[in-house]
Amino acid sequence: MGTFAQLQTEVFTYGVSAIFSGPPTPENIMRVEVRHLTTIESQPHVRYIGVSNDTSEQAPLLAIAKWVPYLVQQTPQQLDKTLVLPNPSSEKFELKQRLLMCRRDIMGNKPYFYLSILATRLECRRQGAGSMLIKWGTEKADELGLQCYVESNAEAQGVYERHGFTKAREELFLLGKYHESWQGKADRIIIMIREPSMERTTGQPNSC
């Protein structure tokens, strides 16, 4: 998981993703790693996956993804809990709250697959590693007849479109308050949805 956290912080250097991940310092990498390990322990349905050129444990990851499957319909109480975030005074709180509200408005309480993180090393892009990780989740969703949801930046929009995602909404985040060098800049987040391929549907989400 340390390699996952390191790649995440090294790749996300600008905008909303960078604000959530933080810098690739040893101290922050450790914090991100602990956060992911806590998620694994408390939410065993969440899937952390990666692509490398080697099967050894020490092989560097080329791309990483975090897929969160919501396999059952959520109650209003469960949806409300998703809006209760730790550290409401944190600079990240407003961003996270806004993204959560978008996801709740669009997806409601129905089951779906959420691609929470996708990162590919700069030198490994356009080689298919990221697409492998997208396909991993979309195929799982197709088997259950579920939609997929992702928050993309403008640069990655075309990649997701090639995998069947379409734009549902666009949100603009002003970045000046989060980083001095980002004064006057903004990050455009494209909310994208993918409908399931009926050819691969084999089961019902509530049966899992």
Q: Which residue's entry shows tokens 């089961």?
A: 203
Cα–Cα distance between 167 and 152 in angstroms, integer? 9
pLDDT number for residue 107? 95
pLDDT tens string 28-67: 999 999 999 999 999 999 999 998 887 666 678 889 999 9
Cα–Cα distance between 157 and 191 in angstroms, integer? 9
Q: Beta partners for 51?
A: 63
pLDDT number for residue 179? 86
pLDDT number for residue 128? 83
* Structural contact between residues 82 and 108, judged by C-beta atoms closer than 8 angstroms: no
pLDDT number for residue 10? 94
Q: What is the mean pLDDT of residues 157-161?
A: 96
Q: List, in order of start, the domains of the chain with CATH numbers.
A: 51-207 (3.40.630.30)
- Percent helix, percent strand, percent coil in the chain, to nearest 5: 45, 25, 30
Compute φ and ψ for 81, nearest 5 degrees: -65, -30
Residues 6+ apart with CB under 8 A from 51: 61, 62, 63, 64, 129, 132, 133
pLDDT number for residue 208? 31
Query: Mean pLDDT, the chain, as a whole number?
Result: 88
3-class DSSP state for residue 86? coil
| Whether pLDDT at 133 is above 80 | yes
Sign of the alpha-carbon dihedral angle for 36, 40, 42, 44: positive
pLDDT tens string 67-124: 999 999 988 787 777 766 566 556 778 888 899 999 999 999 999 999 999 999 878 7
Q: What is the mean pLDDT of residues 172-194?
A: 93
